[in-house]
Structure 1
Amino acid sequence: MISTMMINKDSSRSFLTEEHLFFKQSFRDFLNKEAVPFYDQWEKEGGIPHSFWKKLGDNGFLCPWIDTEFGGLGIDFGYSVVLAEELETVGRDLGGISLHSDVVAPYISSFGTIDQKQKYLPKFITGDLISAVAMLEPGLDSELANIQTTAIKKDGYYIVNGAKTCITNGFKADLMIVACKTALDDVPSYDGISLLLIDNDTPGFSRGRKFEKGGQVSSDTADLFFDDAIVPVGNLLGEEGKGLSYIMQKLQQERLMCAIQNIVTAKDMFHLTMNHIKEREAFGKKKNQCKNIQFTIAEVATDIQLGRTFIDDLICKHMDGENIFTEVSMAKYWITEMSKRISEKCMQLHDAYGTMSNYKITRKYRDIPVTTIYTGSDEIVKILITKNIGF
């Protein structure tokens, strides 16, 4: 079961009101009933069932921030934080739900036409539609200006050719936001990227098999292929050639969500380890009495507290509409690396038990490394940071 011991400490987080905490407990109760008992089975089956998405939608746990005119609750980002943290506590494989709610949907809410919002957002909320964002391509790094997927306008349609890889929710997605090159070759690539809304029944679209991964095994990931795919020009999201600008606008929240998820994982691993070592002995005494272990625990606790303080400050600034892109990039880089470092220490303190596949600590250790690549690899993020601080 998800522990309720920490919920009172949440009251000290300035952006969380009593309403947020009530919502948090309600969602925690829902997950304890609808997700926790089935999570091991989902891992064995390699996927989260669509029925779970529908239950989330039926209970108001998908995209609650969307305006009421499109079926949402119109509530603030604090509720998205609550949802992301509770999903992460159950397991990283549920991260595709946060991506759907707080990464993909905001693109349509911010840049979509009224018709596009009316067509898609209500289904985002109910769970009738699962979404993905498709940017990364085979053989390319995280530099989006280098994408090769093209969308050529012809007779009221875009003819799309190319491929996308490692797309979260890609295997089950009903709708994808796809970054394409729409400009001619003599136009600078930074001005030639556009975003298209592509439905899964689009002629010329296909997807590869679901990836078999070393981690996050029930979070579906797949390649997407476009072979003269026929996309109506009305599926252009925003203005043609503005895609990279839109992506940069939304990266602040995307990277913030990644950092939020990882600090939760770090904290969860810490508490799992604390509980484990209190029950174990080494050299004739309790392991928690060993000085070296105490030093390690102190280091881990300090890292988590520093990360949590940093993240909570950024959440408040983000909710106030501040431009904190550089700080969020720093948080994403440092916290993903920190959580990976902590996972190694926690695994070590579990001894042989840390190698058991049915142990939660093993699962988290396995799922952490790829997060350093999310929303831009650490190397790309560091380059952006150095540019933004004027180096």
Structure 2
Amino acid sequence: MTFESSSRAWMNAELDMLRDTARRFFETECAPRQADWAKQQHIDREMWSRAGELGLLCAGIPEQYGGGGGSFLHEAVICEEQMRALVNSFSINVHSGIVAHYLLAYGTEAQKQSWLPKMTRGEIVAAIAMTEPGAGTDLQRIKTTAIRDGDHYVINGAKTFITNGYHADLICVAVKTDPQAKAKGVSLVMIETRDLPGFRRGKLLDKIGQHGQDTVELFFDDMRVPVGNLLGEEEGRGFAQLMQQLPRERLLLAVGSAATMQRAVDDTLAYVRERNVFGAPLMSLQNTRFKLAECQTQATIARTFVDDCIAKLARGELDVPTAAMAKWWISQTTCQVIDECLQLHGGYGYMNEYPIARMYTDARVGRIYGGANEVMKEIIARAMDQKV
């Protein structure tokens, strides 16, 4: 079973070529270095430039801004190959699939021309900073403030769990431009971090999985940023901007989870065919066969759901509740399938030298980031309650 199956209606020859390029890059240039990156807790900076050279950054951004001129389909293919190769030490999703599209949707022409071409080439690395020590999914309660002082915002506060934060040159920061308001007080401000007074990165955070992913804390102490770095035409639009982009972001998470789920099944099938128990291949035991049949069925359902959501997004029809369904169900099911697959590996499944062990810890965060799964269910329930 592979993700390039001809049964996927949205695939075409151009996307197949992109898939081949992405697969070679992640398998040959990235996967062999995962262990080293895990030890240092971040990738080597030049890998961003290398990804840019190969056209793997900002593939869904128009060519006039230096991008690949593709669509979400191109980003989905890259995401699938990155997760299939178990290369999670840098987030192209955040850089290309999230921050670049905030700029494309809400940025001024000057902002787009200034930042998007550099992001495409990998000259600058992008991150988004929403979560705070005291505010996770509930973004209306963030405490980081941006108070206008002439032609600048003075920003004070802290952010945590920031993906790509170690290398980030450009960060989209959720702030309160009106500290007394809730949703209407939230704005998004772009900050260029190089030599920026008042900007400080905290330590690399020690996580149970995704050890090579540079996840850090950020601190802003009277940090001055030009008012022209506001994203959007006016203050107070940040919460609406975040909500508008969330279906796309959550679908990317579902795409990656589905790819990981299939990789877990494929690896386990190969293992049980070779592993002998009681003088016969482990695959010959009915329990093994039934468990794998269940896992492959779930992986196939996940892939089918993802494909349907991708088609909806391409038509402009993917709504918030459906994206929430895809995010929570596929991330949850991925964890369950990986657990079953690890069990079939026996003691070897508990050894980090086997990919299934890394999948087990790496996948767990999928139920948390992008909005905790409990919040996804609340979004779905509210939509159901509103139906007449």
Q: TM-score range by the shorter chain?
A: over 0.9
Which residue does 1:236 correspond to in 2? 230
Which residue does 2:167 correspond to in 1? 172
Matches within 5 A, 1:47-196: 47-94=42-89, 96-185=91-180, 187=181, 189-196=182-189
**TM-score under structure 2 length normalisation:** 0.96
Deviation string for 1:287-333 (max 9, x for gaps)?
11111122211111111111111110000110111142211100100
335, 340, 346: which one aligns with 1:345? 340
284, 296, 302: which one aligns with 1:301? 296
Matches within 5 A, 1:142-291: 142-185=137-180, 187=181, 189-200=182-193, 201-238=195-232, 239-291=234-286
Deviation string for 1:11-66 (max 9, x for gaps)?
22111111111221122123333213322222233221111111111121110221
Among all aligned residue pairs of Structure 1 and Structure 2, give the percentage whose two residues are the same amino acid: 40
Deviation string for 1:84-116 (max 9, x for gaps)?
011111225245122101011100011000111
Structure 2 residue identity aligned to 1:96: S
CA contact (8 A) 1:88 1:94 kept: no
CA RMSD of aligned residues (A): 1.4
Structure 2 residue identity aligned to 1:284: G
- Secondary structure of the 1:209 match is strand
CA change 1:95–1:383 in 2 (3 A) is: farther
1:6 paired to 2:38? no
Further displaced range: 291-300 or 269-278: 291-300
Further displaced range: 276-285 or 193-202: 276-285
Distance in 1, Cα, partners of 2:236 & 2:41: 37
Structure 2 residue identity aligned to 1:191: K
Deviation string for 1:196-245 (max 9, x for gaps)?
00111322111101112211011000001111111110010002101000
- Secondary structure of the 1:93 match is coil
CA contact (8 A) 2:37 2:89 kept: no
Distance in 1, Cα, partners of 2:40 & 2:200: 23
Which residue does 1:335 correspond to in 2? 330
Distance in 1, Cα, partners of 2:136 & 2:49: 35
- Secondary structure of the 1:231 match is strand
Distance in 2, Cα, partners of 1:95 & 1:378: 23
Query: Unmatched 5+ residue regions in structure 1?
Result: none
CA contact (8 A) 1:87 1:94 kept: no
Instruction: Give the length in aligned residue pairs.
Output: 384
CA contact (8 A) 1:314 1:328 kept: yes
Distance in 2, Cα, partners of 1:127 & 1:153: 31
Distance in 2, Cα, partners of 1:44 & 1:202: 28
- Secondary structure of the 1:208 match is strand
Deviation string for 1:94-142 (max 9, x for gaps)?
4512210101110001100011111100111000000100000102231
The alpha-carbon deviation at position 286 of structure 1 amounts to 1.9
Distance in 2, Cα, partners of 1:13 & 1:226: 46
- Secondary structure of the 2:5 match is helix
Structure 2 residue identity aligned to 1:235: N
The alpha-carbon deviation at position 283 of structure 1 amounts to 2.7
Deviation string for 1:315-353 (max 9, x for gaps)?
011011114221110010001000011111111110111
Distance in 2, Cα, partners of 1:142 & 1:380: 8
Distance in 2, Cα, partners of 1:300 & 1:361: 14
- Secondary structure of the 1:10 match is coil
**TM-score under structure 1 length normalisation:** 0.95
CA contact (8 A) 2:65 2:113 kept: yes
The alpha-carbon deviation at position 262 of structure 1 amounts to 0.3
Distance in 2, Cα, partners of 1:243 & 1:284: 63
- Secondary structure of the 1:11 match is coil
Which residue does 2:306 correspond to in 1? 311
The alpha-carbon deviation at position 387 of structure 1 amounts to 0.7
Distance in 1, Cα, partners of 2:142 & 2:100: 22
